[in-house]
Structure 1
Amino acid sequence: MTENIPKIGKRSLIQLAGWSTLAAAAALVGCGKKEEAAPAAPASAPASAAAAKPAPLKIAFAYVGPVGDGGWTFAHDNGRKALEKEFGDKIVTSFVENVPEAADAERVFRDMVGQGNKLIFGTTFGYMEPMLKAAPDAKDVKFEHATGYKTADNLRTYDSRTYEGAYMAGVIAGAMTKTNTLGVVGSIPIPEVIRNINAFTLGAQSVNPKVKTKVVWVNKWFDPPKETEAATSLINGGADVLMQNTDSPAVLKAAQDKGKRAFGWDSDMTAYGPKAHLGSAVINWAPYYIKATRDALEGKWTTGKAWWGVKEGAIDFVSIADDVPAETKAKLETVKAGLKDGSFVIWKGPITDNTGKVVLEKDKAADDEFLGGVKFFVKGVEGKVPGDK
């Protein structure tokens, strides 16, 4: 920062300094002191490593919720911290939390660009259009959008196969339910969430064909009071094992308060309801964030789409409750190993929707295009998808 210098300009200061030097020299001569030749200036040293070191890459994250939500945003922030550990002083990270999925998000992204960030992560579906608007005006910035499907020259998408975690939770739910009624607190009825509800049900049916799944929507990602209300409604309707596709541990807490069982989602939520907790379907964003950052640092970043799961180390199921039967734990490990090496496929026909329509023929495996457009409930899920005619 330049200091403020009152009344006198920098040019005058330079002149005063010159007069002072002349006066000092004259005084030395007057005293009979012999001037010695000034030592030769050392040859210019080669630029030091520090001087040649490039400026750190500035990376910014936009979060839809608070970093302390215990779920979705907490998992993303753990990924950000993993970046700092991996790359050290090669990068500088920052984040803005509670960014709404609305037009104001565009202002946040433009502000991040203005602050010199060259890699920007938008961590929720609703940021897709705001990022698409900001990206063309910042061609030297790389934008990364989580869970979206639209790309641009400097914007790519990334996602985690959360349906794999949902399926594994279902395997346990099917074995642990006593009422054969499962409950899901749904956030927003987009394919991602509908797919997870279906995968949870398919996992449960793989060990218990009698199960049915009830769904209550809250139409928000993070709203603990609404999540609690929805969980209570499901329990009152007979559900004794709950899962959620929302961002807080409110559902797990509600299950513990009511003497029921539930799962952690996105992060390990054991601590929020240890008596109710059956296990947590977690997302590890670190592998992708490290790859994306390395791509940017090495000039290898290109647009495209990434969808990572158990195979890439992005999805796992952890902290299984002690009272889960050994055979159920063994089945879960078999599923996990199959997802990792590709020998097990969750979405493989025959699969029918809850109206009896075949949506996936026998022995046919769903591709990512099919999974990206799931807008139906599978057999066993009660009700209709909101907006479905």
Structure 2
Amino acid sequence: MSGILGLRKAMPSRREALALGAGSAALAAGLLAGCGSGGSADPGTGEDGQPKRVAMVISSPKNDGGWGQGHYESLKRAIESHPKWEMLEPKESVADADAADAAQSYVDQDVDLIVGAGNEFASVWAEVVAEAAESHPKVHFLITNTDPAVDLADYQTLDNLETVLTDLSQSGALAGVVAGLMTKTKSIGFIGGAKLPTTLTKYAAYLAAAQKVTPGVEGHYNFEAGFTDASLGARLTENWIAANDVDVMWGDASAVDNGARQALEEAGADTHFDIAQPIDIAGEGQATVITSTVIDWKIDQAMDEIEKGEFGSGKTISADMSNGGISLGKFSDKVPADVQEKIREQVELISAGNFLTDAEIDAVRSTL
């Protein structure tokens, strides 16, 4: 395997990674907040009969094609399933220095649910969350991609807050099964935006799964590509195609992934393929995308808890295959029908927890 890696602390924020030169704001995480309905007869409205409201803070554009868009689409799906809720226009491209003010502006409006994209918000919202618990008890917060034990250790209260974590091993395994069954050269690639532990877990599961369905598959990776330079994604992929005959890619680097797709298309869109994430884009003018690993941040589940008066106490919502938090998107017609069927068989095993073991994933990770 070829690659570049340097581990950092347990759960560094994506914004911290950017500050170290790992990339720019396309990798925001999402935050969600809400409160119980009090005595309202309709769980979808407040005590005054008005719709409950949800807002989102994103450190990237809401249509960035990656992390920010994944959160925004999750929010829109949640609204579709909760038609009595009202979605406020998200605050986009919010800088670190403005993150607390962005959250406070929603608190001042007594917004029921505040969604902010990533664990970088956890590091700057502690005071806002604490003050809101006292002065605006109907306001609650949900922060995505956040480990309470690590990221919220200095919070004064978690009564009005929950977090969301995705099953990264499932995401990686889904991509790996597709890559392993679609590669003809037994050489696959991966681009990560930052040297985060989450990135390593995704890649380790990706390669382990590919090797399980097709023994002998080799992986090539870069974990320091950032999130904005599409030309870097193109150069990395071109080099791997020329030197290692890579014919399938999966990425975790937002705009950089677009460059990888360009290089794959130039090498031949009928023989070189990409697996997109975190939104489903196969067939939408994407010549090389054969499917997508999709994340739903379970904002709908947080809304349900708010309506029932069960939200808060620092609980963590798990976004995984059991609740639609992790899924495989639609296939392009470049995936043969028999391969699609083999993939579906493996997807069932992954969902049931019967495909990869922790030891198999750790065996790959230990080599990074």
Q: TM-score, normalised by structure 1?
A: 0.70
Cα RMSD (Å) of the superposition?
2.7
Q: 1:234 to 1:109 in 2, by over 3 A?
A: farther
Amino acid at match of 2:308: E
Instruction: Return the alpha-carbon distance in structure 2 between the equivalents of residues 310 and 274 of structure 1.
Output: 25
Task: Identify which of 317, 325, 342 aligns with 1:306.
Answer: 317
- Superposed, which structure 2 residues align to 1:33-48 within 5 Å? none
2:163 aligned residue: 157
Instruction: Indicate conservation of the 8 Å contact 1:189/1:219, yes or no.
Output: no
Instruction: Return the alpha-carbon distance in structure 1 between the equivalents of residues 101 and 114 of structure 2.
Output: 13
1:56 aligned residue: 51
- What is the deviation of 1:280? 1.0
Are 2:347 and 1:353 equivalent residues in the alignment? no
Are 2:348 and 1:337 equivalent residues in the alignment? yes
SS in structure 1 at match of 2:175 = helix
Instruction: Return the alpha-carbon distance in structure 1 between the equivalents of residues 310 and 204 of structure 2.
Output: 37
Are 2:339 and 1:328 equivalent residues in the alignment? yes
Q: 1:126 to 1:180 in 2, by over 3 A?
A: same
For residues 12-55 of structure 1, what are the alpha-carbon distances to aligned partners after superposition, in whole Å with 9 as ceiling and x for unaligned?
xxxxxxxxxxxxxxxxxxxxxxxxxxxxxxxxxxxxx9998523
- What is the deviation of 1:72? 2.6
For residues 129-177 of structure 1, what are the alpha-carbon distances to aligned partners after superposition, in whole Å with 9 as ceiling and x for unaligned?
0123421121122111111112423222102224323212211212322
- What is the deviation of 1:113? 1.7
- What is the deviation of 1:345? 4.4
Amino acid at match of 2:307: L
Instruction: Indicate conservation of the 8 Å contact 1:60/1:95, yes or no.
Output: yes
2:277 aligned residue: 265
**Structure 2 unaligned regions, length at least 5:** 1-41, 153-157
Are 2:193 and 1:198 equivalent residues in the alignment? no
1:281 aligned residue: 293
Instruction: Indicate conservation of the 8 Å contact 1:311/1:339, yes or no.
Output: no
Larger relative contact order, structure 1 or 2 (CA cutoff 8 Å, min sep 6) = 2
1:173 aligned residue: 179
Q: 1:53 to 1:262 in 2, by over 3 A?
A: same
Which one has a bigger Cα radius of gyration? 1
Percent identical residues: 22
Are 2:105 and 1:111 equivalent residues in the alignment? yes
Structure 1 stretch 179-188 or stretch 327-336: which is displaced more? 327-336
For residues 181-218 of structure 1, what are the alpha-carbon distances to aligned partners after superposition, in whole Å with 9 as ceiling and x for unaligned?
21111111212111111111011101222111111234
Instruction: Indicate conservation of the 8 Å contact 1:244/1:265, yes or no.
Output: yes
Structure 1 stretch 243-252 or stretch 190-199: which is displaced more? 243-252
For residues 36-88 of structure 1, what are the alpha-carbon distances to aligned partners after superposition, in whole Å with 9 as ceiling and x for unaligned?
xxxxxxxxxxxxx9998523222211123222222332222222222332333
Amino acid at match of 2:354: F
2:146 aligned residue: 148
Q: 1:107 to 1:51 in 2, by over 3 A?
A: closer
SS in structure 2 at match of 1:69 = coil
For residues 293-332 of structure 1, what are the alpha-carbon distances to aligned partners after superposition, in whole Å with 9 as ceiling and x for unaligned?
1222332212211222111111111222434354532332
Q: 1:199 to 1:52 in 2, by over 3 A?
A: closer
Q: 1:228 to 1:104 in 2, by over 3 A?
A: farther
Q: 1:186 to 1:144 in 2, by over 3 A?
A: same
Instruction: Return the alpha-carbon distance in structure 1 between the equivalents of residues 94 and 335 of structure 2.
Output: 39
Q: TM-score, normalised by structure 2?
A: 0.74
Task: Identify which of 238, 248, 253 aligns with 1:241.
Answer: 248
SS in structure 2 at match of 1:78 = helix
SS in structure 2 at match of 1:108 = helix
1:188 aligned residue: 194
SS in structure 2 at match of 1:127 = coil
- What is the deviation of 1:104? 3.0
SS in structure 2 at match of 1:67 = coil
Are 2:217 and 1:217 equivalent residues in the alignment? no
